Amino acid sequence: MATLCMQIVVLGKTVQLVLSPERRTARIFIVDDGAGSHPPRTMSIEQYVDAGMTDDEIARHVLEVVTMSIEQLARLQPYNRTARAQTHRLRYPS
């Protein structure tokens, strides 16, 4: 079994996946063009291997989930900035 690497760009973030079927793990690396790199994440892929998915199917599925997570976080960020701004406006001087 060989290590499989895939890479995509999602909303200015480069996502690299390193799938190690013999270890039954996937390592996810994310580099944000503006903020730099994030610590890599390691996840078990045992459930996918046991379900009979191929290495390619597992890698594409994991990348799809990471993509959806990044997109969802991007949608929430404008809300978070607005909420923080409102919180700052509600503070009263001591």
Average model confidence (pLDDT) across the chain = 84
Range of the domain at 12: 4-90
Domain count, the chain: 1
Chain segment 28-48, per-residue pLDDT in tens: 999 987 778 889 999 999 999
The pLDDT assigned to 88 comes to 47
What pTM was estimated for this model as a whole?
0.76
Residues in the chain: 94
Count Cβ neighbours within 10 Å for each residue of 12-47 and write b for 16 or more, e otherwise. Answer: ebebebbbbbeebebbbbbeeeeeeeeeeeeeebee
